[in-house]
Amino acid sequence: MPSRLCRALLCGVWQDGRRAESGAKSRSLKDPSELRCNLFTVLENINLNKKLSREDYKRALPLLQQRLYDLEKACWDNGNPTMIVFEGWDAAGKGKAIAALTQRLDPRGFRLHPIVPPRTYEQQHPWLWRFWLKVPNRGEMLIFDHSWYGRVLEERVEETIPEKLWRQAYRDIVDFERVLADDGTTILKFFLHISKKEQKHRFRAIEANPLEAWRVTREDWARHKRYDDYLAATEEMLEQTDSEYAPWVIVEATSGSHARKKIFETIIAAMEKRLGPQAPPRSEADQSTVRDADLRAVMESLEEAVV
């Protein structure tokens, strides 16, 4: 049966294309569970042209960061753990999004885990062992830059493990996330999506900067050439692991400003929902927040002038 993500997409397409005229008798709708999500269905229907101007983003950022800080403290005081997972294409902007999220947080209330391939001693344990060691404490916010989904993406596409293992990993992942959610953890998973053309453009731009060129490696270009293979693996990953308790959020990342604002708003909404009546009230922008935004604008203009 298709996941909630695919069912929602299919229902939306159906309703947009088959809306009945006013007063007319509507036709019976086929059960979406009888439909199948073909490869590329979800990501190919994402509008990658969504944009947000830098000016609008700069005006919104101080309030978003202040709200996230207030919710971080409230979750800490109430013992509500939060786990945020970032996956996506190379050069899609995961690092910048994480930097914006954590810039104004209390460092005592969150941990950041950049995930690399398992080390030799870690391979002597069940594959999720190293992630169980990193689950959030009560009230803590945990951010993963890459995650256990590497098993059904990189390890699958690069064929570093047998097919049997990455297929079993879907069940392991769903069980892992379900246990954490049942224990009270708020789980959010973001996939930052850009086109193959946009990824190539960003690689070229990074390589043109002598101070940044080291970030693009031969492995990055090799994965770029296999974009379609990774796209197919990502589609199946979204289908198999999207759930009510650990939903996937696809972020249109062509515009970095739009992507970061969407990520902020999604996390804030989820934490407010989890806290319920314990969520701190929203406050209007005060003078300190306005001064903060103005100071950032001045600093950025000075930096651009120096460059």
DSSP states of 176-195: HHHHHHHTT-EEEEEEEE--
Give the residue among 180, 164, 185, 172 at the shortest CA–CA distance from 126.
Answer: 172
What is the side-by-side order of every strand in the sheet holding 248-252? 110-114, 141-145, 82-88, 186-193, 248-252
Name the packing angle between helices 54-78 and 256-275 (round to 10°).
Answer: 30
Q: Phi-psi region for residue 23, left (φ > 0), alpha (ψ -120 to 50) or beta?
A: left
Q: Rounded to an integer, what distance in angstroms lies between the CA atom of residue 259 and that of residue 215?
A: 21
The pLDDT value given to residue 286: 52
Q: Of 182, 2, 3, 215, which Cα lies nearest the Cα of 92?
A: 215
146: left (phi over 0), alpha (psi -120 to 50) or beta: left
The secondary structure of residue 215, as a DSSP letter, is G
Going by the DSSP 8-state scheme, the letter that residue 248 receives in this structure is: E
Q: How much is the pLDDT for 10?
A: 39
3-state secondary structure at position 143: strand
pLDDT at 99: 97
Predicted local confidence at residue 42, as pLDDT: 82
Q: pLDDT tens per residue, the chain (307 residues)?
A: 445 555 444 343 333 333 333 333 333 333 333 333 444 478 888 999 999 999 999 999 999 999 999 999 999 999 999 999 999 999 999 999 999 999 999 999 999 999 999 999 999 999 999 999 999 999 999 999 999 999 999 999 999 999 999 999 999 999 999 999 999 999 999 999 999 999 999 999 999 999 999 999 999 999 999 999 999 999 999 999 999 999 999 999 999 999 999 999 999 999 999 999 999 998 766 555 556 665 655 555 554 544 4
Q: What does the pLDDT read at residue 216?
A: 95
Name the architecture of domain 4-10+45-275: 3-Layer(aba) Sandwich (3.40)
pTM for the model stands at 0.82
Other C-beta atoms lying within 10 Å of the C-beta of residue 47: 7
